[in-house]
Amino acid sequence: MPASASTHGPEDLIGRLSSATDGEAKLKALRELKNQIIGNRTKKFSYIKLGAVPSVVSILSSAVSGYGDGYSNSLLVQSAAAIGSFACGVDAGVKAVLDAGAFPHLLSLISHPNDKVVDAGARSLRMIYQSKLAPKYDFLQEENMEFLLSLLNSENENVTGLGASIITHSCETSIEQKALSDAGILKKLISLLGGSLSQRDASLEALATIFKENPKAISKFVGTESGRALSAVIELTKDKYPRTRLLACICLIVIRNTFPCYLQDVGIKTKLILILLELLDDPGQVGDDAAFALSSLIAEKEDLQKLAFEANVVDKLCNHLRKGPVQAKRFQGILLSLADLCSKLESCRSRLLSLQVLNLVTDALIHDSADVRAAACICLKSVSRSVKNLCAGHFVNEVLIIRLIQLLHDTSTSVQVAVLGAISNIVVDFATCKSTFIQCGGVKQLVQLSKSMDSTVRVNAVWALRNLTFLKDNRCKEGIFLELTVSTLSSLIHDYEPSVQEQALALVRNLVDGCIESVEYVFAEDSLILHAVGKQLQSASKAEVLIQGMYVLSNVASGKEFHKEAVMHELFPQAGNSTQSIIIKFLQSNDSRLRTAAVWAVVNLTFPSSPGAFGRVVKLRNAGIVSQLKNMINDPCLDVKLRVRTALEQFTTSGDGST
Amino acid sequence: MSLFWFVIRQLEEIEAMATSKKVITREEWEKKLNDVKIRKEDMNKLVMNFLVTEGYVDAAEKFRMESGTEPDIDLATITDRMAVKKAVQCGNVEDAIEKVNDLNPEILDTNPQLFFHLQQQRLIELIRNGKVEEALEFAQEELAPRGEENQSFLEELERTVALLAFEDVTNCPVGELLDISQRLKTASEVNAAILTSQSHEKDPKLPSLLKMLIWAQNQLDEKAAYPRINDLATATLEDPSV
């Protein structure tokens, strides 16, 4: 008569596990424990907390050393099964099992003469290897590779599955990938593709791990038996079992993402999309993973996004969201897939907006799971690339803006970065969004984040501020400027991270753009900001930083006489210095964008109607600018060519006639 | 399988002619049927597949001895699987769970839906036996945490607990949970999961083959009159009705 949960409390059971003296009593207690925890996360946690794992492991270890008066095999099987169950799907369980020293004992079961014992040991180890916490297997040691090969060559399918799981868990670097493929593992895994269900699945996962960003292994695989191995994987995408179909798709996606020339055929691409869509209907983990696989298939690939759009993927994903509460993992995957779809194609964005699911995305911004919140922000960022819909005010409302601002306080950095991305897009060009955002106190929060220790947060915060100041009227700019302060802005220009420097300079560029008063910002507090820009131009090496810096100077040089002279001072810091001016260096740059920015500055500095133009023309000519410009008269970049001509004309007009 | 392809080929031929309904006499039909060669071993494999999947272990053993067809699975595992199935069918769910766990602990650990359905069945049996207090305690201790993990489990749990609210359960809106059919449903779910864990198909091939035959005949009906098989049990050819 099996004992039920209510007759014996957990403490009692653990007591019997450790105190039972004879094999039979131990076995009974072990089975009882095993049957209570299998499938039951709550029970696993409570038994782990009560310290059941070490008791089980000590039964295992004494049975390994032969104890058990005729029960030893059963004790091995039952204790290994209980350990495996503790490790199944619960990281705390894996940790407890490893801490209790179960690993070497389980490993010794693999060479046990009894098949059932081998099965139980291999299953438990596989469970452990499914967790991130499992110890890393060192493939680079010869005896380890031999042991791995012996596992894969085993007749027992649990043991071969274990071999494949070890690869999936532990193979990370390209050196390890190479070692595995040199040792003939690929061939072994290919042969397992024709094996049982569990062997096929395990092999597909291991193959995908070896293929990841490893074109060599892929060519080797694709060349195997003139493409038969690849065909076998393609065939498995039609398998009866959903998980097998999913793993085959993931394997093909890895091949394609690493080696885009394979699987170019439209048929197979569409097929992958359709299979993944169908797998989304699976209520379990397969459905969750399918959403992520879809995202990795279409991310940054416009051809696939187009195909997905034609296959109605937007509608289907939205239907999943509409159907009611979706599990967090799946919700995240679907939002990310939608984000990928909308990242490039306006057709997808319009479709998404017309399906009226935006309120669901807005709700996702306050989801319990940080991953879902971040995914919702990324999705909004993609959708808000639609200038047409943003202008029409189609989706930005106060609720959305307020929620986005609240997310700036989020405890998760990845959410903060994602929400900054969304805000950057939403505030870029549209008066209504900007005012709502400013009224709701968004600027203060952005300024706070621009001082974050995390450089990704910092760069995104400054980016958002930059977009916020784009084409804004001067009153609003002033508000932003006061909040930001001169000292913060100049320290952002001097940030040690070039990407932050770039965004900070772009922010200044936007600040000083537009009406003539706005140029004054860089002259505040003894021209602190202007000097910061000048200093950065002298020392920075990244083209993007220099481009933004030069545009700041161009914008300032479009101002009054005093402004132009200040720019001259930044370009030629020491009077009479014979060293080459930075502006020459920029005019000679390989980057046409930097050349454009530099010529613009020259054009603004030599604008004829201003009184000091003559003096500047002389100074620029002496610095060799004119001869440099003459060399650029046929610049391959049309924009540069055009500005160079304007500049040269101005030299003639304002100059002494010696051009 | 070959029979199926034969019918399909017929279909294609007739389609290519694009005439009005063609009549195929019994003689012509039988002649064509005789040209189709089906290997005895394949037929035997089909039979064995049916016996193994449906769990007729004694018949499978006899058939193996008589025909020499090797089953693709250890026959001993069939006995275990049938014992699990039978336990659920008789309402001994706890016993069934222990047996599944002995067979392969991964099945219920990696299949939350099946695990929930077995626990739900356990609750149903407690309610059936009038053990109200035990049922409530079980629902709270074992099932409620699963409902927290999964919205659809929660709905099913609510439906099941609703059984306790009615005096006359046989006539209540959720009364069908107490039907034998509910046990059979759960039993076949366990059966399928065990088969899958043994890398075996969860459905026998034979019924789907018969379904294909019916489908192909229906397609053919629109194009031709031919000796049809109406009685699948005897597979006699009926004379074409013209």
Confidence of residue A391 (pLDDT cuts 50, 70, 90): low
Q: What are phi and psi of A637, to 5 degrees?
A: -90, 125
Confidence of residue A5 (pLDDT cuts 50, 70, 90): very low
Distance CA A79, CA A63 (A): 9
Closest residue in chain B to residue A243, using alpha carbons only: B196
Contacts of B33 (CB under 8 A, 6+ apart): B6
Chain A residues closer than 8 Å to B112 by CB? 39, 284
Distance CA A506, CA A424 (A): 13
Q: What's the half-sphere exposure (Cβ side, CA atoms, 13 Å) at B150?
A: 17
Distance CA A279, CA A240 (A): 12
Please report the number of interchain residue pairs, chain A to chain B, with beta-carbon separation below 8 angstroms: 66
pLDDT-wise least confident of A73-77, A109-113, B13-17: B13-17
Mean pLDDT of A452-462: 92
| DSSP string across A268-317 | HHHHHHHHHHHHTT-SSHHHHHHHHHHHHHHTT-HHHHHHHHHTTHHHHH
Task: Output the pLDDT for position A6.
Answer: 44
Helix, strand or coil, per DSSP, at residue B23 = strand
Whether residue A284 and residue B112 make contact (CB cut-off 8 A), yes or no, is yes
Neighbours of A454 (CB within 10 A): 13
Closest residue in chain B to residue A123, using alpha carbons only: B106
| DSSP string across A573-599 | -STT--SPPHHHHHHT-S-HHHHHHHH
pLDDT in tens, A119-143: 999 999 999 999 999 999 999 999 9
Confidence of residue A429 (pLDDT cuts 50, 70, 90): low
Distance CA A651, CA A659 (A): 7
Confidence of residue A94 (pLDDT cuts 50, 70, 90): very high
Q: Measured between alpha carbons, how far is residue B212 from residues A85, B6, B178, B200 in Å?
A: 42, 12, 35, 21
Asked if the model's pLDDT at residue A342 lies above 90, the reply is yes
A52 close to A33: Cβ distance less than 8 angstroms = yes
CATH superfamily of A483-561: Leucine-rich Repeat Variant (1.25.10.10)
Closest residue in chain B to residue A34, using alpha carbons only: B101
Whether residue A39 and residue B106 make contact (CB cut-off 8 A), yes or no, is no
Report the share of chain A in percent with pLDDT over 90.
Answer: 65
Distance CA A138, CA A171 (A): 9
Chain B residues closer than 8 Å to A197 by CB? 196, 199
Whether residue A39 and residue B134 make contact (CB cut-off 8 A), yes or no, is no
pLDDT in tens, A581-614: 889 999 999 999 999 999 999 999 998 888 888 8
Max intra-chain CA distance, chain A: 112
In A398-450, alpha helices (H):
398-407, 413-426, 431-439, 442-449
Distance CA A26, CA A18 (A): 8
Residue B101 is nearest to which of A35, A41, A325, comparing CB atoms? A35
Whether residue B196 and residue A31 make contact (CB cut-off 8 A), yes or no, is no
Whether residue A283 and residue B95 make contact (CB cut-off 8 A), yes or no, is no
Tokens of A571: 């370009």
Chain A residues closer than 8 Å to B98 by CB? 2, 31, 35
A411 CB burial (10 A radius; 0-12, 13-18, 19+): exposed
Q: Cα A225 to chain center, whole Å?
A: 36
pLDDT-wise least confident of A76-90, A268-282, A464-478, A509-523: A464-478
Task: Output the pLDDT for position A227.
Answer: 84
Q: Which residues of B touch A (CB under 8 A)?
A: 94-95, 97-98, 101, 104-106, 108-113, 115, 134, 137, 141-142, 145, 149-152, 196-197, 199, 201
Residue A198 is nearest to which of B115, B145, B199, comparing CB atoms? B199
Whether residue B105 and residue A2 make contact (CB cut-off 8 A), yes or no, is no
Task: Output the pLDDT for position A366.
Answer: 93
Distance CA B14, CA A329 (A): 52
Confidence of residue A655 (pLDDT cuts 50, 70, 90): low
Asked if the model's pLDDT at residue A185 lies above 60, the reply is yes
Chain B residues closer than 8 Å to A242 by CB? none
Which residue type sits at B238? Answer: E
Helix, strand or coil, per DSSP, at residue B237 = strand
Residue B110 is nearest to which of A34, A88, A327, comparing CB atoms? A88
Contacts of A285 (CB under 8 A, 6+ apart): none
Report the share of chain B in percent with pLDDT over 70.
Answer: 92
Mutate to test the interface with A, among B72, B84, B104, B109 (most CBs of A within 10 A): B109
Neighbours of B234 (CB within 10 A): 8
Chain A residues closer than 8 Å to B141 by CB? 5-6
Task: Output the pLDDT for position A576.
Answer: 55
CATH of segment(s) A578-659: 1.25.10.10
Residue A38 is nearest to which of B109, B137, B151, comparing CB atoms? B109
Distance CA A531, CA A114 (A): 80
Whether residue A42 and residue B97 make contact (CB cut-off 8 A), yes or no, is no
Asked if the model's pLDDT at residue A248 lies above 50, the reply is yes
Closest residue in chain A to residue B115, using alpha carbons only: A39
A564 close to A605: Cβ distance less than 8 angstroms = yes
Sequence length of chain A is 659
Instruction: Please give the residue that has the higher pLDDT: either B72 or B197.
Output: B197
Distance CA B233, CA A381 (A): 63
Helix, strand or coil, per DSSP, at residue B224 = strand
Task: Output the pLDDT for position A68.
Answer: 58
Closest residue in chain B to residue A283, using alpha carbons only: B113
Mutate to test the interface with B, among A35, A74, A86 (most CBs of B within 10 A): A35
Torsion of CA A221, A223, A225, A226, to 10 degrees: 140
Asked if the model's pLDDT at residue B18 lies above 60, the reply is no
Whether residue B95 and residue A2 make contact (CB cut-off 8 A), yes or no, is yes
Chain A: nearest CA to B103, how far in angstroms? 10
A494 close to A501: Cβ distance less than 8 angstroms = yes
Closest-CA residue to B120 (of B101, B103, B135): B135
Chain A: nearest CA to B25, how far in angstroms? 39
Task: Output the pLDDT for position A70.
Answer: 74
Mean pLDDT of A248-256: 95
Which residue type sits at A465? Answer: L
A124 CB burial (10 A radius; 0-12, 13-18, 19+): buried
CATH superfamily of A396-468: Leucine-rich Repeat Variant (1.25.10.10)
pLDDT in tens, A544-567: 999 999 999 999 999 888 899 999
pLDDT in tens, A315-336: 999 999 988 778 899 999 999 9
Give domain limits for chain A.
10-135, 396-468, 483-561, 578-659
A46 close to A10: Cβ distance less than 8 angstroms = yes
A628 close to A584: Cβ distance less than 8 angstroms = yes
Chain B residues closer than 8 Å to A4 by CB? 94
Chain A residues closer than 8 Å to B104 by CB? 123
pLDDT-wise least confident of A265-269, A459-463, A630-634, B87-91: A265-269
Asked if the model's pLDDT at residue B159 lies above 60, the reply is yes
Q: How confident is the prediction for chain A on average, in pLDDT?
A: 89
Classify each residue of B168-178 as buried b or exposed e, where b means 16 or more C-beta atoms within 10 Å of its C-beta.
ebeeeeeeebb
B113 close to B120: Cβ distance less than 8 angstroms = no
Helix, strand or coil, per DSSP, at residue B229 = strand
Residue B97 is nearest to which of A35, A85, A240, comparing CB atoms? A35
Asked if the model's pLDDT at residue A570 lies above 80, the reply is yes
Task: Output the pLDDT for position B183.
Answer: 94
Chain A: nearest CA to B149, how far in angstroms? 9
Confidence of residue A430 (pLDDT cuts 50, 70, 90): low
Task: Output the pLDDT for position A518.
Answer: 85
Whether residue A6 and residue B137 make contact (CB cut-off 8 A), yes or no, is yes
pLDDT-wise least confident of A475-489, A518-532, B127-141, B167-181: B167-181
> Which helix (H) or strand (E) segment is B225 a member of?
strand B224-225
Q: Cα A55 to chain center, whole Å?
A: 42
Closest residue in chain B to residue A82, using alpha carbons only: B105
Closest-CA residue to A25 (of A64, A84, A78): A78
Whether residue B112 and residue A198 make contact (CB cut-off 8 A), yes or no, is no
Whether residue B109 and residue A198 make contact (CB cut-off 8 A), yes or no, is no
Distance CA A498, CA A548 (A): 12
Mutate to test the interface with B, among A7, A31, A32, A38 (most CBs of B within 10 A): A38
Torsion of CA A25, A26, A32, A35, to 10 degrees: -140
Whether residue A85 and residue B97 make contact (CB cut-off 8 A), yes or no, is no
Distance CA B113, CA A242 (A): 15
Confidence of residue A279 (pLDDT cuts 50, 70, 90): very high
Neighbours of A83 (CB within 10 A): 32
Whether residue A40 and residue B106 make contact (CB cut-off 8 A), yes or no, is no
Distance CA A471, CA A509 (A): 11
**CATH topology match: A10-135 vs A483-561:** yes
Chain B residues closer than 8 Å to A84 by CB? 105-106, 109
* CATH 1.10.260.40 correct for A10-135: no
Chain A: nearest CA to B238, how far in angstroms? 36
Which residue type sits at A340? Answer: D
Confidence of residue B125 (pLDDT cuts 50, 70, 90): very high
Mean pLDDT of A52-59: 95
A352 close to A342: Cβ distance less than 8 angstroms = yes
Q: What's the half-sphere exposure (Cβ side, CA atoms, 13 Å) at A415?
A: 22
Distance CA B35, CA A269 (A): 41
Q: Which residues of A touch B (CB under 8 A)?
A: 2, 4-6, 31, 34-35, 38-42, 81, 84-85, 88-89, 123, 127, 157, 196-199, 240-241, 283-284, 324-325, 327
Q: What are phi and psi of B22, to 5 degrees?
A: -95, 145
Report the share of chain B in percent with pLDDT over 90.
Answer: 47
Chain B residues closer than 8 Å to A41 by CB? 145, 149
Helix, strand or coil, per DSSP, at residue A164 = helix
Distance CA A519, CA A512 (A): 5
* Structure-token match 């007591």, residue found: A15
Residue A197 is nearest to which of B97, B101, B199, comparing CB atoms? B199
Report the share of chain A in percent with pLDDT over 70.
Answer: 95
Chain A residues closer than 8 Å to B109 by CB? 38-39, 84-85, 88-89, 127
In sequence order, what are the beta bridge partners of B23? Answer: B225
Confidence of residue A462 (pLDDT cuts 50, 70, 90): very high
Closest residue in chain A to residue B108, using alpha carbons only: A39
DSSP B22: E
A446 close to A486: Cβ distance less than 8 angstroms = no
Positive or negative torsion for Cα A71, A72, A75, A81: negative
Tokens of A552: 């700041």
Task: Output the pLDDT for position A475.
Answer: 75
Chain A residues closer than 8 Å to B201 by CB? 240
A273 close to A305: Cβ distance less than 8 angstroms = no
